Chains A and B, each alone.
Chain A
Amino acid sequence: QKEVEQDPGPLSVPEGAIVSLNCTYSNSAFQYFMWYRQYSRKGPELLMYTYSSGNKEDGRFTAQVDKSSKYISLFIRDSQPSDSATYLCAMSQDTGRRALTFGSGTRLQVQP
Chain B
Amino acid sequence: SQTIHQWPATLVQPVGSPLSLECTVEGTSNPNLYWYRQAAGRGLQLLFYSVGIGQISSEVPQNLSASRPQDRQFILSSKKLLLSDSGFYLCAWSGRARGPYNEQFFGPGTRLTVL
Which B60-104 residues have a C-beta within 8 angstroms of A? 88, 90, 92, 94, 97, 100-104
Which A1-53 residues have a C-beta within 8 angstroms of B? 4, 6, 8, 31-32, 36, 41-46, 49, 51
A41-B111 in contact (CB<8A): yes
The number of chain B residues touching the other chain, given as a range, is 20 to 34
B43-A92 in contact (CB<8A): no
Given contacts A4-B43, A99-B49, A102-B43, contact A43 B106 (CB under 8 A): yes
Identify the B interface with A (CB < 8 A).
32, 34, 36, 41-46, 49, 51, 57, 59, 88, 90, 92, 94, 97, 100-109, 111
Identify the A interface with B (CB < 8 A).
4, 6, 8, 31-32, 36, 41-46, 49, 51, 88, 90, 92-105
Can you list 6 A-B pairs with a CB-CB distance of less than 8 A? Answer: A8-B41, A51-B101, A100-B46, A102-B45, A103-B43, A104-B41
